[in-house]
Amino acid sequence: MSADRIMERLPPRPGEWLDRDREIAFAFEGRCHNGFAGDTIASALAADGVSLLSRSFKYRRPRGALTMAGQDANTLVQLPGEPNTLADMRGIEPGMAAFGQNYDGSLEADRGRWVEWLGRFMPVGFYYKAFYKPFGAWRRWEPFIRRKAGLGVIDTEALHAYHDKAYGFCDVAVIGGGPAGLAAAAQAAEAGAEVLLIEEGARLGGSLTYARFDPEGARASREAEALIGAVEGADRIEVMTEAVCNGWFADHFLPVIRGNRLYKIRAKQVVVATGSMEQPIVFRGNDTPGVMMGSAAQRLIRRHAVRPGRRAVVATANGDGYGVALDLIDSEVAVLAVLDLREDPPACPRSDALRARGVPVLAGHTPWEAWAGPDHRLAGLQVAGITGQGTARPGERILCDLLCVSVGYTPAAHIACHAGAMLRYDPALGMLALAECPDGIHPAGSAAGAFDLDAAIAQGRLAGWNAARTAGFEGAAEPPAPGDLGAEQVSHPWPIFPHPKGKDFVDFDEDLQVKDIRNAVAEGYEDIELLKRFSTAGMGPSQGRHTAANLARLAAEAAGRDLAEMGATTVRPPYTAESFGILAGRGFEPERRSAMHHRHIEADAQMMLAGLWQRPAFYGSERDREECIEAEAMAVRTGVGLIDVSTLGGLEIRGPDAAEFLNRMYTFAYAKQAVGRARYVLMCGPSGAVIDDGVACRFHDNHFYVTATTGGVEGVYRQMLWFNAQWRLDVDVTNVTAAYAGVNIAGPSSRAVLAPLCPDLDLSAEAFPYMGVRVGTVAGIPARLLRVGFVGELGYEIHVPASYGEALWDALMDAGEAAGILPFGVEAQRLLRLEKGHIIIGQDTDGETTPQEADMVWALARKKPFYVGERALRIQAARPLKRKLIGFAMASPRDAAPAESHLVIRDGTITGRVTSAAFSPILGKVIGLAYVAPAQAEPGTRFTIRSHGGRMALAEVVSLPHYDPDNARQEG
């Protein structure tokens, strides 16, 4: 098969990007091809004479390379597990298997081509009009349209790739490594700034690596050598190649993608030297493979040593097109004619050189129609003499396989536009130009209208100097201002020649023709943004890079409006497509572990997440879940259990105003709390809703140690500091959560287990009563001991410096061995506290729960001048209660425990919901907490819960606590 292939590879040439020693075999459409390291998929295929790369998204038209710069959707190909890959940017790899996109059967003989025939019945806005009536029709059409339209295919079985993120900082970020960017980077570094130079291509140089600036074609490499040499010799320049700056975000935050890594760069100043994008001519068949930008042909020749065709025509409206023609001739391509769209082209050194080589130049001519041969490649052109704006008289036909187009540019000013700059049509230049660049953004080079090479370099130097100076590096002398920018002679004001038979594409991504744009305007979509959305012009993968200027021209003409006022559509990030992997890869999700974490793992704990903390849910295998939880709970009720409570929040409140501060932050009264005692704390927000609880331990007149919930402590700490920023009380608040490890040893045997470890403390009920706090040692470890009863048994919370956590755990487990001590987890604790009717903030309360609703009026001090939420609670108290949190038991012993948020239903309406429910082994029934209507809140009242599967289950209100109603066990 390969023998009859035309080989288009040119002999080795200086400056080419290929490593001819490394041949790489890959496959396209199931056929084997060879290329060299440094080839892209598209360039290697072009070298093998393959120009058909994919098909268009809507009409399935054959498409080939257009820009060779990753700026068009023509070259989107499918790789295994990776759709929509830019074939003109992605380097070939050994064994790579690529396919075209948007076809059925084979790329060369697509069975879906009939869609184009249907095109005449699919006017602009077709989707909006056709598929939404009658109501519901879209649902039937959508699967078909999605199947026909979907670009590449996502492989849901694809292997996970590794993506990550990195961070970087610089004084000046220079985006674009062409002549202006190189000059800017060198200048900024010379001034003393740390510079990051970001280049999309594999090598530095930009247009210097492909364009021809002089008749001899010698200047580019000379300038490149000097500019790149200066950058590589500088100390303060970091160069990133094959890196795409994909956007600009506030305060110069730049996402830069290189391979599978997303760099988040913070710059002080940004130089935008991103160049410009060559623009197409709109004419019939302008999407035929073989019609490409002049710069695309030059990229193929100079970077990849590929002859882009055999018989070429060049259509131009500037000096660059003559440079293209000279490059083609030097690559042994027959240049049959140069069509210059200008009526009277001014002489320039490159056009003089071309004429000297005997190439016919047809002034005032344009391509009028292109057609393809059986291989879908360009076979010939009809040219036409231009008679007016957009009109021409068809003339001779030329048989050719390559048409290079070089008739104008649009600034690649995305990054500047993200920052707030605008693209406006400049009638004097006949092109879109950058306007209103915001502070901190320094445009340079052809992005800023400097098309002359000397001017681009000078403008780059000035931009680099300005950026460095603004970033605080003022040493260097100001470089001279650029001379004539050369922007007047590069863009033709009207490269649009509508054909009576259409297929004159304005937007290649979306297959939009001239008539589509005109029809959309005729329907009233005159505003450029509305026109874009209705016609979908510029909404494809290339985001209007080759559409924006011609769209504005056509819209202004059709609407009879001034082109300068038409503007261009808003440019938003991202600049190029970014994969989900880049966005999702390796997020920073820290997890917190207590000091006893490894002991839990050794004890086969099933861990669960509580906020950021890892906590044991229960100990044992998932299979025995219920049995394990029950055994742990029974150990606490009948013997002794040990739970890790290190995750509880801890706050130190110190200072002369400590008690006054607590009085204001919490609902209870603390001024008269005795040293050595703990007191419940309940915090409300300014609206009166319950937001946290815990206990306050007074260790000194001026010192409280306050606990807070695991998930709430950060917010509580922040609230405390916020209020005291206003109150200015003499108090110091410190969050010591991470500084302490803690356990709760609970159960009737807890005192007996603990006492031998505490020689310096009297643990007797008289000396250390319920709600007492002590400072002492436990197994020689300095500790704070709190006699509190969350689980409703005799128990001690022991808080020690975090570094002693594991030692404390070991000492207590050893001491309790004879008494049958069991570690217990969060699940058993939840059951135990439910038996006691203790609420968990956030589970049994929501964002609106008031102390009245939660039956906690007992925790509200009545005589304090102020506490947070007090004024709102007074308003609430004067109003009828809406709901009440009550304890309940299921009426039938056969009823399963309802789940959280199962609804309480009365007479068909919702009156409340379950917040906690579980089977209590010690009580032998299902108990729970639920919100009910106030009228349902009396103990003994029966109500229905819509339980699992919608079954209505009967429950009865019971008074709390469910277990040990007079609290004899915990207070004993």
Partner 1 sequence: MKLMPCPLNGPRNITEFACAGEVKVMPDPAKASDGDWGGYVFLRENAAGVVREWWCHTPTAFWFIAERNTLTDEILRTYPASELFKDRVEFAARDEDGT
Report residue 561 as tokens. 């409006």
Task: Figure out which of the listed residues 310, 727, 755, 922 binds partner 1, where binding follows CB under 8 A.
Answer: 727
Q: Which of residues 140-199 bind partner 1 (CB under 8 A)?
A: none
- The answer to the question of residue 687 lying near partner 1 (CB under 8 A) is yes
- The answer to the question of residue 233 lying near partner 1 (CB under 8 A) is no
- The answer to the question of residue 249 lying near partner 1 (CB under 8 A) is yes
Which of residues 304 and 664 has its CB atom nearest to partner 1 in the complex? 664
Which of residues 733 and 763 has its CB atom nearest to partner 1 in the complex? 733
Q: 382-393: string of b/e by CB count within 10 Å (b at 16+)?
A: bbbbbeeebebe
Map residue 880 onto helix, strand or coil. Answer: coil
- The answer to the question of residue 139 lying near partner 1 (CB under 8 A) is no
Which of residues 530 and 729 has its CB atom nearest to partner 1 in the complex? 729
- The answer to the question of residue 860 lying near partner 1 (CB under 8 A) is yes
Task: Figure out which of the listed residues 874, 942, 948, 951 binds partner 1, where binding follows CB under 8 A.
Answer: 874
Which of residues 267 and 832 has its CB atom nearest to partner 1 in the complex? 267
Q: How far is the CB of 649 from partner 1 (least distance, A)?
A: 13
Q: Which of residues 626-665 bind partner 1 (CB under 8 A)?
A: 664
- The answer to the question of residue 250 lying near partner 1 (CB under 8 A) is yes
Please give the C-alpha separations between residue 689 and each of 103, 842, 854, 863, in angstroms, as whole numbers.
61, 11, 10, 20
| Cβ proximity of 614 and 591 under 8 Å | yes
d(CA 59, CA 46): 24
The residue ranges of DSSP E strands in 402-544, in sequence order, are: 402-406, 409-411, 422-426, 431-435, 441-443, 505-507, 512-513
Contacts of 874 (CB under 8 A, 6+ apart): none
Which of residues 319 and 869 has its CB atom nearest to partner 1 in the complex? 869
Per-residue contact track with partner 1, 254 to 273, x per CB under 8 A?
----------x-x-------
| Residue with token string 């029709």 | 137
| Cβ proximity of 142 and 87 under 8 Å | no
Which of residues 144 and 249 has its CB atom nearest to partner 1 in the complex? 249
- The answer to the question of residue 871 lying near partner 1 (CB under 8 A) is yes
Q: Which of residues 429-448 bind partner 1 (CB under 8 A)?
A: none
- Helix 179-190 / helix 453-470 crossing angle, nearest 10 deg: 40
Of residues 877, 798, 860, 842, the one with CA closest to residue 709: 842
d(CA 164, CA 263): 9
Q: Is 37 exposed, middle or buried (0-12, 13-18, 19+ CB in 10 A)?
A: middle
Which of residues 573 and 921 has its CB atom nearest to partner 1 in the complex? 573
Map residue 378 onto helix, strand or coil. Answer: strand
The residue ranges of DSSP E strands in 296-421, in sequence order, are: 311-316, 334-340, 361-363, 365-372, 378-388, 391-399, 402-406, 409-411
Cis amide prior to 961 (ω within 30 degrees)? yes
Q: How far is the CB of 246 from partner 1 (least distance, A)?
A: 14
Per-residue contact track with partner 1, 816 to 835, x per CB under 8 A?
--------------------
Task: Figure out which of the listed residues 30, 686, 756, 893 binds partner 1, where binding follows CB under 8 A.
Answer: 686
Contacts of 626 (CB under 8 A, 6+ apart): none
- The answer to the question of residue 729 lying near partner 1 (CB under 8 A) is yes
- Among the candidate windows 370-378, 834-842, 856-864, 962-970, which touches partner 1 by CB under 8 A? 856-864
Which of residues 237 and 689 has its CB atom nearest to partner 1 in the complex? 689
d(CA 918, CA 900): 10
Q: How many residues form the binding site for partner 1 (CB under 8 A)? A: 33
- Among the candidate windows 90-98, 232-240, 644-652, 859-867, which touches partner 1 by CB under 8 A? 859-867
Beta strands 795-801 and 781-786 are antiparallel
Task: Figure out which of the listed residues 501, 623, 862, 894 binds partner 1, where binding follows CB under 8 A.
Answer: 862
Which of residues 507 and 657 has its CB atom nearest to partner 1 in the complex? 657
- The answer to the question of residue 118 lying near partner 1 (CB under 8 A) is no
Q: How far is the CB of 265 from partner 1 (least distance, A)?
A: 11
Q: How far is the CB of 189 from partner 1 (least distance, A)?
A: 23
- The answer to the question of residue 858 lying near partner 1 (CB under 8 A) is no
- Among the candidate windows 130-138, 621-629, 870-878, 951-959, which touches partner 1 by CB under 8 A? 870-878
Report residue 603 as tokens. 């004890």
Task: Tell whether the torsion through CA atoms of 931, 933, 938 and 941 is positive or negative.
Answer: negative
Task: Figure out which of the listed residues 318, 542, 735, 829 binds partner 1, where binding follows CB under 8 A.
Answer: 735
- The answer to the question of residue 726 lying near partner 1 (CB under 8 A) is yes
Please give the C-alpha separations between residue 815 and each of 755, 758, 823, in angstroms, as whole numbers.
10, 11, 13
Which of residues 555 and 683 has its CB atom nearest to partner 1 in the complex? 683
Which of residues 59 and 867 has its CB atom nearest to partner 1 in the complex? 867
Which of residues 72 and 657 has its CB atom nearest to partner 1 in the complex? 657
> What is the phi/psi pair of residue 885, to 5°?
-90, 120
Task: Figure out which of the listed residues 864, 906, 925, 946 binds partner 1, where binding follows CB under 8 A.
Answer: 864
Please give the C-alpha separations between residue 821 and each of 355, 559, 616, 743, in angstroms, as whole numbers.
100, 86, 16, 13
d(CA 542, CA 545): 6
Dihedral of the CA atoms 537, 486, 349, 334 (nearest 10)?
-10
- The answer to the question of residue 882 lying near partner 1 (CB under 8 A) is no
Which of residues 328 and 659 has its CB atom nearest to partner 1 in the complex? 659
Helical H runs in 680-738?
713-727
Which of residues 12 and 865 has its CB atom nearest to partner 1 in the complex? 865
Q: Which of residues 703-722 bind partner 1 (CB under 8 A)?
A: 714, 717-718, 721-722
Report residue 368 as tokens. 């009028």
Q: Is 14 exposed, middle or buried (0-12, 13-18, 19+ CB in 10 A)?
A: exposed
Q: How far is the CB of 270 from partner 1 (least distance, A)?
A: 14
Which of residues 114 and 722 has its CB atom nearest to partner 1 in the complex? 722
- The answer to the question of residue 588 lying near partner 1 (CB under 8 A) is no
Which of residues 438 and 939 has its CB atom nearest to partner 1 in the complex? 438
- The answer to the question of residue 863 lying near partner 1 (CB under 8 A) is yes
Which of residues 110 and 870 has its CB atom nearest to partner 1 in the complex? 870
d(CA 753, CA 748): 10
Task: Figure out which of the listed residues 114, 132, 141, 253 binds partner 1, where binding follows CB under 8 A.
Answer: 253
- The answer to the question of residue 572 lying near partner 1 (CB under 8 A) is no
Task: Figure out which of the listed residues 109, 767, 875, 899 binds partner 1, where binding follows CB under 8 A.
Answer: 875
Query: Under the rule (CB under 8 A), what is the footprint of partner 1?
Result: 249-251, 253, 264, 266, 664, 686-687, 714, 717-718, 721-722, 725-730, 735, 860, 862-866, 870-872, 874-875, 877
